[in-house]
């Protein structure tokens, strides 16, 4: 199974809802991460402030920090290979990295199906 690890700079929280300014990229990435976990993808994120051991024990991350410093974060690694630096990957990119062939549904969207037997979304009633 593919492993995806995202190493991010020191943040007070990983959701982006810290203080008066909301970082939309963090909010989106948090939702994307959750969606991939629900699909069974082996994906983890490590925050420099909360999990410095993850940075110190990974040779690729340690070498990256020696060259680029924390200003180069976030760093995305797939199966030990650096695939992205400096920004968070989009959901489509994460799915591609994971090798998941799934229809991408934007966060917050609910899909409804219409049953052919009922002929309507209400299951044959006039509730609509």
> pLDDT per residue over 46-82, tens digit each?
999 999 999 999 999 999 999 999 999 999 999 999 9
Domain-embedded: residue 114? no
pLDDT tens-digit series, residues 1-13: 899 999 999 987 7
CA–CA separation, 126 vs 78, rounded Å?
50
- 40 in a structural domain: yes
Domain-located, residue 124: no
Is residue 112 in a domain?
no
Does residue 28 lie in a domain region?
Answer: yes
The answer to whether residue 82 sits within a structural domain is yes
- Do the bridges between strand 3-8 and strand 75-78 make them parallel or antiparallel, or are there none, so unpaired? antiparallel
pTM over 0.95, yes/no: no
The per-residue pLDDT for 99 is 92
Query: What is the domain extent for residue 81?
Result: 2-96
Q: Cα torsion for 31, 42, 66, 24, to the nearest 10°?
A: 0
Q: What is the CATH number of the domain that holds 8?
A: 3.40.30.10
DSSP state of 75: E
Count how many domains the chain has: 1
Tokens of 15: 């959701």
CA distance 32 to 52: 23
Residue 121, domain member (yes or no):
no
Q: Is residue 106 part of a domain?
A: no
| Cβ within 8 Å of residue 128, ≥6 positions away | 120, 121, 122
Average pLDDT, the chain: 83
- Residue 106 to residues 7, 13, 29, 72, 90: CA-CA distances in angstroms? 24, 23, 12, 28, 11
């Amino acid at each position: 199974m593919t492993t995806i690890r995202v190493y991010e700079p020191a943040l007070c929280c990983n959701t982006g809802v810290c203080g008066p300014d909301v970082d939309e990229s963090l909010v989106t990435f948090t939702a994307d991460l959750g969606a991939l976990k629900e699909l069974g993808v082996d994906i983890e994120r490590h925050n420099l402030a909360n999990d410095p051991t993850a940075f110190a024990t990974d040779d690729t991350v340690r070498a990256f920090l020696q060259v680029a410093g924390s200003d180069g974060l976030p760093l995305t690694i797939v199966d030990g290979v650096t695939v992205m630096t400096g920004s968070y990957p989009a959901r489509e990119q994460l799915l591609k990295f994971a090798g998941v062939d799934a229809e991408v549904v934007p966060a917050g969207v609910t899909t409804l199906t219409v049953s052919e037997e009922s002929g309507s979304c209400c299951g044959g009633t006039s509730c609509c």
